[in-house]
Structure formats: structure tokens, C-alpha cells
A and B are shown apart, each in its own frame.
Chain A
């Protein structure tokens, strides 16, 4: 009987696999302890009573959905900061490579390069500020028991901050791409091209991870809202 209940709870918590496994172990321990403490000595009745006292699996899963959403959004905040840091490292590594290889912009594109470089710098700086702001914002929010309107608007603000970080990073990465293209233009294709191309790929990949995380938060928010309504 307890095994069936645990299966049901695990199914209800399928939106978060790691949480589901962890909760199952905790609840299993709880229910068997309740059975052991039952004074009647009738195991079947004790199991039935333990499950009834524990509550409806669906209702408990709905409360856990809120915990999962909060964890997901905090994780997205950390990812935003890590992505910004990774883009910075990739950018710096590429510049160090250019210096080592003594590659520089040719005179005819230097003016355009300067302009793009300024756009790149400010866009990146903006992504650092907004990304850090988003992370600090979401980690300082209290987690409510239910998906209440106050938390909904806090989450909306956080998603907006993360989206703004991603948008600023898109501008920065595109600018990096333009600068890389200007620099490599006219040079003969060689193995040395691998470094700038790899660093650009890393930047684009990091950006993809951030967008994926934002999408996960919005989808989890929608599923939490639906779960709490039922």
C-alpha cells in the first residue's frame, strides 16, 4: 500500500526528477516510521492510517512544485552570472591569442572596428550589471508556500532581467563575431583560426544555455500555476 502511494507521489512529482527521488525517500521513511509507531499492531490498517494522515499526493506535489520553481529560478540566476563570466573568459582568451599571434585590424576597417568594439564593451558591461542584479534579486526573495501574485510579479521581473541580460549578451556576441570577421578577413585560412572560432562557439553556446534556462523558468512557472489551480 505504501509502495503504491510512493509510486503515485513520484508520478505527481515527475516535473522534477531529482526532487521526486529525494522526496520519495523522505516520505518512505516517514510512512514506515508512522506504521511502526501505530499502537494497533495491524500493519495494513496502520499503513492506511499513515497514508491518510500524510495527505493527498496531488496536493503535496502542488506544494513541492513551488519549491521546484524557486530552485529553478535561483539556478537560472546563477547560470546568468556564470554565462556572463564564461563569455568574458572566452573574449579575453581570444584577445590574448590575437596579441600572441600579432593579429590586428587592418587600417581600412579600424574605424568600423573601433565603433563595434565600443558597442561590444557597453553591451557586455550592461549584461554584467543586469545579470548580477537579476541573480541578487531572485536570491533575496522569500519563497512563499503558494504561487501568490506577489511572487508571480517577482518572477516576472526576474525573467525580464534575465532576458535583458541575454539580449545584451546577444549584442555583445554579435559584435565579437563582427570584430572576429573583420580581423580574419583577408588572412589566409590556417589552424590558428581554430582559437577565435572556438571561442566564438563557446560564447554562442553559453548564450544558448542562458536562453534555455529562461525558457525552463517560464515553463515551470506555467506548470506550477496550473498545478496549484487544480
Chain B
């Protein structure tokens, strides 16, 4: 289930952390989820590359304090819009599931 939402998770982490490299993105995901997401760290990188190819992220290389080359990712305008869209869909979905599991009556449409 987590895999299906990996893109949204990565976008949300980058939105919260600002420009960040892969390791920082993973740390942000761990921190914000309270360590709930336990997926192989390596799976984040194909997702970052895929999102960049899709125009949702852009990246640039810099030299870290350690002297190693580091790739830093930033959310693009398209990425921001995609995140807003996915957040709305997720909220709708989680509200519906919450209502279903909680037994609350669905809100009626004020039509």
C-alpha cells in the first residue's frame, strides 16, 4: 500500500524540507511519519528520478562538506500542484474510510 503512495510521500517530504538530497528526504519521511514507514531506503532514489523525469522535481549537483558530490532535489511548480491535488484526493479518501470505520453518517450534500 505504501508503494502506491510513495510519490506523494516523497513530494510531501520535499515540500516540507525544501531543497534536499536523497538521504535528507528519507530522514524527513522518517521524522514526519514517526518512523512508521519502513521501506528500503534505496527505493526512494528511483522515485526521485521518476518524479524528476515527470517534471515534478528538478535537481542540481553540489559538493557536500564531506567533499562528495551530492544531488539536491527541489519541488517544481508542477510538483507543487500535483501535491495539492494528491493531498485533496487523499483527504477525501481518508475521510470516507474514517466515516466507514468510525460508523459516522456521511455528510449530506447541501444541494
Contact = CB atoms under 8 A, between A and B. Distances in A.
Interface of A: 19, 22-23, 25-30, 32-34, 36, 53-57, 59-60, 63-64, 66-67, 70-71, 74, 142-143, 145
B105 interface: no
Contacts of A60: 40, 42-43, 45-46
Nearest to A28: B68
Contact of A54 (B42, B47, B49, B50): B42
B53 A71 contact: yes
A33 B27 CA distance: 11
The secondary structure that dominates the A interface is helix
Size class of the B contact interface (CB-based, 8 Å): 20 to 34
Interface of B: 3, 6-7, 21-23, 40-43, 45-47, 49-50, 53-54, 64, 66, 68-71
Contacts of B50: 66-67, 70, 143, 145
The secondary structure that dominates the B interface is helix
A145 B44 CA distance: 11
B23 A33 contact: yes
Nearest to B61: A25
Contact of B49 (A29, A33, A59, A64): A64
Given A27-B45, A59-B40, 16 more contacts: A19-B49, A27-B42, A29-B66, A29-B69, A30-B22, A30-B45, A33-B23, A54-B42, A56-B42, A60-B46, A143-B50, A143-B54, A145-B3, A145-B6, A145-B7, A145-B47
23 contacts: A26-B21, A27-B42, A29-B22, A29-B71, A30-B21, A30-B22, A30-B45, A32-B68, A34-B41, A53-B40, A53-B41, A54-B41, A60-B40, A63-B46, A64-B46, A67-B46, A67-B49, A67-B50, A70-B53, A71-B53, A142-B54, A143-B53, A145-B6
